Amino acid sequence: MSDVKTQIDETVKANDVVLYMKGTKEMPQCGFSSRVAGVLNYMGVDFSDVNVLADEAIRQGIKDYSDWPTVPQLYVKGEFVGGCDIITEMTLSGELDTLFDENGVTYDKDAADKIREANG
């Protein structure tokens, strides 16, 4: 395994929730990253963020690691969940709540419900 792939593998396995994104959770640098980070922040999910803009090797490496062509990429308990469209759909359908529940990830259920109410 390359150094970058090893680093990514260790990061996704060492953290319950990881978002590979453009920018940081406090200052996203693209709309898609902002949307996913915004959902996680609003739901009170404790997640690690990795800014792919800070390291070109990570930026390309995460795409190779997941075999997914775009960023952001969300990982829960070491498993790739998806990008912005998938996370948006899962949030609105309640599937993200179920995924968090099944994996013991703490989040604000009321906040998740408010997102669905606002987009219903």
CA distance 91 to 74: 13
Judged against a pLDDT cut of 90, whether residue 71 lies above it is answered with yes
Q: What is the pLDDT of residue 81?
A: 98
| H helix runs in 1-120, sequence order | 3-14, 31-42, 56-66, 84-93, 95-102, 109-118
Q: Environment class of residue 102 by beta-carbon count within 10 Å: exposed (0-12), middle (13-18) or buried (19+)? A: exposed
Look at the pTM and tell me if it is higher than 0.75. yes
CA distance 49 to 76: 12
Domain count, the chain: 1
Residue 7 has a CB neighbour count (10 Å cut-off) of 17
Per the CB < 8 A criterion, the answer to whether 19 and 52 are in contact is no
DSSP 8-class letter at 28: B
Q: What is the pLDDT of residue 120?
A: 81
Tens digits of per-residue pLDDT, 26-48? 999 999 999 999 999 999 999 99
Q: What is the pLDDT of residue 13?
A: 97
Q: Mean of the pLDDT values across residues 70-81?
A: 98
> Which residue segment(s) compose the domain that 22 sits in?
3-118
- Using alpha carbons, select from 17, 34, 21, 3 the residue that is nearest to residue 79: 17
Q: Mean of the pLDDT values across residues 77-100?
A: 98
CATH number at residue 55: 3.40.30.10
